[in-house]
A and B are shown apart, each in its own frame.
Chain A
Amino acid sequence: MFPDTLRQFLPVAAVVILLVGPVLFSGGDLYFLVFGFACFYAALAMAWNILALSGLVSLGHGAFFGLGAYAAVLLEHNCQVPIYAAVVAGGLMGSFYGVLWGYAFQKLRGAYFALASLASLEIPRVIIDNWDSLTGGSMGIIGINRLPALDFGAWIIPVGESMRGQYYFLVAWMAAVGVVHYQAIRSRWGWALRAMRENEMAAGVLGVNVFGYRFLAMGISAFLTGVCGGLYAHLMGLVEPAMVFSVQLAAFPLILSFFGGRYAVLGPMLGALVLYPFDQLVLQPWLPQGHAAIYGLVIIVTIFFFPKGIAAWLSQPARTS
């Protein structure tokens, strides 16, 4: 669709815009906030997509997100675990639940897996909703500490203190998840995931350890989603069951990934960076009540008219070297 030079130029341009762009918008904090969260949702979408690359579409990633959020907050409040360590522990909590899925749902595919994942989103929600003494029940937990500044000696990122610090932190987090997502497509593991999603039985016969590679994808996807949950709780300053264990939140990465292009390295990231700011900066001021309907519309239009997502416009038609 685009000439070669332009295709190679676009990702570079995107990186430059991400790093420098918000500084130019002297409009200030709103832009840092929106583009920071766009990067956050890009990370969430890529984390979700790592499992989707194996051929399983999950509607229950909110479970990992919520467990990660609660584990991080409770460890920090009750056990005085340092915040970033608690966030990582939240990720581990998510991957623990993911490992359970990996065993329990190993025979489920397609719609059956999607339904099972949706159902297992409800289990931790109901438990946390009712375990008042530990989790505060449906009231949630408020007054969560902000993320502390990251000190790299010469470089200090004031993550929780300024919108700009938060923005650069989230760009870095997106880049980190992006590296894993890249591996899940381009590495040997990526080839295995691709083979099993295109024809699982053929993959097994050709020596691909279907269960093992998918289990790995499940664990990593759940871990990264759990870390996102822990970060989210600290970014928002509060956490409640209805907020983190929601179907909307579980479906969000799916919508962004479909829109951006599920099988492309840059797909989910592109989906988030285009769709979320468009929603927040253009649609919301114009249509404050119903702006979220755009996401439903987007998924329908995407599936009907460009099922490979907008990232396909950047690449050549269906050829890899």
Chain B
Amino acid sequence: MAEPARQDILDLRHIEVAVGTQRLLADINLRVQSQEIIGIIGPNGAGKTTLMGVIAGQVRPSRGAVFYQGQDITHWPPHKRCRAGIARTFQIPRPFPEMTAWENIAIGLRFGRPEQHNGSSRDEAIAFLELVGLPHKADTLGQDLTLSEQRRLEVARALATGPQILLLDEVAAGLSPKMVRQVVKLIEKLRQQRLTLLIIDHFLNLTLEVSDRLVVLDRGEKIMEGQPQEIICHPEVIGAYLGTRRAAPPGPG
């Protein structure tokens, strides 16, 4: 890999998360450059979502430190990280159920930006709904949206906070292939807007297609990191996904 010409936006150092006797993450080190798109893959229970929680502030690491743009943010509360430019979505969507879609976005506009933003208008919010193809749902309550609409609302809401780095947790889960194409398009658009992205997804194809770099987690440990094409053929990765006995090269498609 080339030496970083751009500054590290995120630097995780020796992150460990332990709950009781169980270690969810063990000694994770990860440097993310600005404007990079990183895919995090790994089987269920590998600690992918926990890692996102550590970055966005929902999970306190029991050891290690999180640096963001050169600052130690390990002990920052979530809202402070959000205003500094870290946004995330949730695997299981968390809409504000009794707010309309545009009001959901308005919360991000009003509170998520570094400057005080008071009179965010409906039109401003709808511009973000358009990004994810939901402008016609502006006046639907959060609880009345379908699961896939709620997922897209999560993305729009996170973007409304004006992030530098966006963590996408399973955005394409449960979407039709057509909508997955839309997600890929959206990610390409975000790349052009110079966002840094961290993507978790079970759709390996999507992750492979958009990522500059892949990180593989298994049972709380980082087992590999590198270019998507070399990672995906690596026996250890295949072993983690399929079990070691069936460590054969993947067939086409």
**Which residues of A does B touch, CB under 8 Å?**
188, 191-192, 194-195, 198-199, 201-211, 318-320
Contacts and interface: CB of A to CB of B under 8 A. Distances in A.
Contacts of A319: 100, 139
B79 A201 contact: no
Nearest to A308: B98
A318 B100 CA distance: 9
B58 A206 contact: no
B98 A207 contact: no
B96 A208 contact: no
Contacts of A211: 77
Contacts, number: 83
A195 B107 contact: yes
B161 A207 contact: yes
Contact of B58 (A192, A195, A201, A318): A201
B157 interface: yes
B57 A204 contact: yes
Secondary structure of the A contact surface, majority rule:
helix
Given A195-B107, A318-B141, A320-B103, A204 B78 contact: yes
Contacts of B77: 204, 209-211
A209 B79 contact: yes
A194 B57 contact: no
Given A198-B97, A210-B77, 12 more contacts: A191-B106, A191-B111, A198-B96, A199-B95, A202-B96, A202-B157, A206-B82, A207-B79, A207-B83, A207-B111, A209-B80, A318-B98
B87 interface: yes
B110 interface: yes
A206 B112 contact: yes
A201 B94 contact: yes
B163 to A, nearest CB: 10
Interface in B119-176: 139, 141-142, 157-158, 160-161
A302 to B, nearest CB: 18
Residue from B56, B96, B100 with most neighbouring chain A CB atoms (10 Å): B96
20 contacts: A191-B106, A191-B110, A192-B111, A194-B96, A195-B96, A198-B98, A199-B96, A202-B94, A202-B95, A204-B78, A204-B79, A204-B82, A205-B78, A205-B87, A206-B79, A206-B108, A207-B112, A207-B161, A209-B79, A209-B80
